[in-house]
Amino acid sequence: MEKLRLGAQKLGIELQPAQLEQFESYYRELVDWNRRVNLTAITDYAEVQLKHFLDSLTVARALAEPAGKDIRLIDVGTGAGIPGIPLKILWPEIRLVLLDATAKKARFLHHITAQLGLDGVEITVGRAEEVAHQPDYRERFGVVLSRAVAGLPALVELTLPFCAVGGRFIAQKKGDIEDEVNQASRAIDRLGGKLVGVEKIDLPEFADQRRLVIIDKVAPTPEKYPRRPGIPVKRPLV
Ligand code: SAH
């Protein structure tokens, strides 16, 4: 995990030996399970360290270090746990919900969180469009994260309903995203969000340009959002 350790240092993060061991087991289990369950296209040891683990930790750039145990974070469309699990390894005190529509991926998430000894992780199987209407989830999170799930106009409909007013949504994006961000401005506004900015992540570890789109929740989301499963992606609020 040397590449991860050095990359994290450039983000101002000193990973401890016990944390690096957790990442090492995460890597081994991910690659092992990936033979049976489709979890990731990236399996090379160096690439997983950078493209999955370090990339997840870049989110810390847009968050204050969580104070106390009251911070509740949800990772929408977490897949194999990215970026939620790396952040949980970084900040063991956070309460984390990993949400994904696929039950097979959830089986891996149960396995890996037990294996890594992570407490305070809830694994929820379901579509964001439905789960976001449940009272225990709606506007209950101080931090909402999502990587590689949908284009920003649809994505904000899948994520901002989870975010408490005063909370923050961070989307991980790649490349030139100015148009995508502009296209999402109506959706952001409708859902009660306010664009704070786009943070560039320029680390030599990444060949491509990585961005964090930072959106604060400033007003409640109207009850009708998110719309029915599939509709946010099919007919984004542009
Ligand atoms: N965030 C992970 C996985 C990205 S793949 C990573 O960056 O590696 C997209 C994941 O989002 C898939 O696992 C898929 O099942 C999930 N997903 C897509 N749409 C969803 C929705 N509407 N609700 C919940 N999960 C969804």
d(CA 84, CA 33) in angstroms, rounded, equals 18
Q: Please report, for the domain that includes residue 114, its CATH number.
A: 3.40.50.150
CA of 172 to the centre of ligand 1 (A): 13
Average pLDDT for 57-75:
85
Whether residue 46 is contained in a domain is answered as: no
Collapse the DSSP code of 61 into the 3-class scheme (helix H, G, I; strand E, B; otherwise coil) and give the result.
helix
Residue-wise pLDDT for 150-187, tens only, equals: 999 999 999 999 999 999 999 999 989 999 999 999 99
The answer on pLDDT for 3 being more than 70 is yes
Give me Rg for the CA atoms of the chain.
17
193 lines ligand 1 (CB under 6 A): no
Q: Does residue 174 lie in a domain region?
A: yes
Contact 128, 157 (CB under 8 A): no
Neighbours of 1 (CB within 10 A): 21
Strand-pair partners of 100: 125
Total domains present in the chain: 1
Assess whether the C-beta atom of 63 lies below 6 angstroms from ligand 1.
no
Residue 48 lies in a domain: no
Whether this prediction's pTM lies above 0.75 is answered by: yes
Mean pLDDT of all residues in the chain?
96
Quote the pLDDT of residue 127.
98
Complete DSSP assignment for 79-123: TTTTTHHHHHHH-TTSEEEEEES-HHHHHHHHHHHHHTT--SEEE
Q: What pLDDT sits at residue 68?
A: 56
According to DSSP H, which parts of the chain are helical?
2-10, 17-33, 45-47, 55-57, 84-90, 103-115, 128-131, 152-159, 178-183, 185-190, 231-234
pLDDT confidence of residue 64: 82
Give the mean model confidence (pLDDT) for residues 107-122.
Answer: 98
**Is the CB of 161 within 6 Å of ligand 1?**
no
pLDDT for 71 equals 83
Q: Whose CA is nearest to atom 16 of ligand 1?
A: 77
Question: Can you tell me the mean pLDDT for 51-67?
Answer: 90
Decide: 148 in ligand 1 pocket, CB within 6 A: yes
pLDDT tier at 69 (50, 70, 90 boundaries)?
A: low
Task: Please answer whether residues 191 and 156 qualify as being in contact, where contact means their C-beta atoms are separated by less than 8 angstroms.
Answer: yes
| 34 within some domain | no
Greater confidence (65 vs 172) lies with 172
Q: 97 in a domain, yes or no?
A: yes
Residue at 114 is within a domain: yes
Residue 10 lies in a domain: no
The strand order across the sheet containing 210-217 reads: 121-125, 95-100, 72-76, 141-147, 163-174, 210-217, 193-201
Question: Which of ligand 1's atoms lies nearest the C-alpha of 40?
Answer: 8
Averaged pLDDT, 229-237: 98
How confident is the model at residue 119, as a pLDDT? 96
| Whether pLDDT at 70 is above 80 | no
Residue 82, ligand 1, Cβ within 6 A: yes
**Distance in angstroms (rounded) separating the CA atoms of residues 49 and 41:** 14
At residue 67 the predicted structure's pLDDT band, cuts being 50, 70 and 90, is: low
Which amino acid does the sequence have at 86?
A: P
How many A from CA of 82 to the centre of ligand 1? 10
Domain of 118, in residue numbers:
65-234
Within a domain: 7? no
Residue 138 gets which letter from DSSP?
T
On whether the CB atoms of residues 169 and 178 are closer than 8 A, the answer is: no
Instruction: Look at 176 and 118; give whichever has higher pLDDT.
Output: 118
Q: What residues contact 25, with CB distance under 8 A and at least 6 apart?
A: 115, 116
Q: What is the distance in A from the centroid of ligand 1 to the CA of 102? A: 8
Mutate to test the pocket of ligand 1, among 57, 102, 146, 149 (most ligand atoms within 8 A of CB): 149
Distance 171 CA to ligand 1 centre (A): 13
